[in-house]
Structure 1
């Protein structure tokens, strides 16, 4: 993914990893969300459960719309999975939001390992397919 190429992604344990390395060979979900968003707070635990089922083949990159780094980290600690996030203040979030025309949150966009968009409606797919997350990820590879 060009926008994230060469960038360091972070996890709550403060570990940093090169985006290309972290996402190589995986289906990627770009998750646009924020702690202040009620629908986001309802969906995030559902996404966490989904992620725990498919994390070997699937990775999430959280693109936060939070207003502060502490809000972002508090939200991550409260209910997110152990997935990557774009460090606060990095313009990659805005670039991704523009590229994928994100106008509302929560939005979850699925990308193939080569960066090709699979769907902009990943949230719906996750909510509908809660019982079989592996099937959803397998469809993304086709």
Structure 2
């Protein structure tokens, strides 16, 4: 009996150490030829790429050079919807240039054009030095307008009238496209920029809804932390 047990133990150890033996002994077990760590890293990379708002090749700088989407990481990103034929936009463009200069390295503005044609887009881009822009011919330019419901009046024949704002308008987003805060610059002008708390981690990584509520309530950073703690259940009451 003891000899039988020893022989059985030997077989089990040999099978566990040899993947080929495992497949022959356990034909229904699915074997992976990719190490677990490599597979996990590949899956994480795929999720990261899929979750980014701007696919590679969609962004360009003022000179027309394609800019990698990764350049936005670590910055608070605002989509700037504007049209060079809109008097309010041309008056507001200098305000946005100054805002970007004053907060360089902390915020990034991405110009989403409502210009009538590519030539007008190029001329408008020259009035926004340092801004990134969605390429005029990229379908993403129009899908962003539909997603965040911000477009110029002349575009209503294309997108309809169910918009929440005309131009100029700003939508602060996370890198995955989740909206953090809408800035109603069409009506509030420069005063709306005070609601862009770009140094608040919630405007980069936090839940978008909470960031919106904090901004609307005008909570300070310390008050936001207290509010967050208050929302957590007491450990003694957890089920």
Normalization by structure 2: what TM-score? 0.51
Higher share in strand: 1
- Contact 2:97–2:128 under 8 Å retained in 1: yes
Higher share in helix: 2
1:127 aligns with 2:190: yes
How many pairs are equivalent? 138
Could you list the per-position Cα deviations for residues 14-72 of structure 1 after superposition, in whole angstroms to 9, with x for gaps in the alignment? 221122x1211211110111100111111111011000111202111111011111101
Aligned to 1:17: 67
Cα deviation, residue 89, structure 1: 1.7
Aligned to 1:43: 92
Normalization by structure 1: what TM-score? 0.83
1:136 aligns with 2:197: yes
Aligned to 1:96: 144
1:56 aligns with 2:105: yes
Aligned to 2:167: 105
SS state at 1:110 partner: strand
Distance 1:25 1:125 in 2: 27
Aligned to 2:117: 68
Aligned to 1:81: 129
Cα deviation, residue 80, structure 1: 1.2
- Contact 1:63–1:93 under 8 Å retained in 2: yes
List alignment gaps of at least 5 residues for structure 1.
none
List alignment gaps of at least 5 residues for structure 2.
1-50, 151-162, 207-239
- Contact 2:53–2:175 under 8 Å retained in 1: no
- RMSD between aligned residues: 2.5
SS state at 1:60 partner: strand
Instruction: Choose between structure 1 and 2 for higher RCO, CA contacts under 8 A separated by at least 6 residues.
Output: 1
Aligned to 1:6: 56
Larger Rg: 2
SS state at 1:17 partner: coil
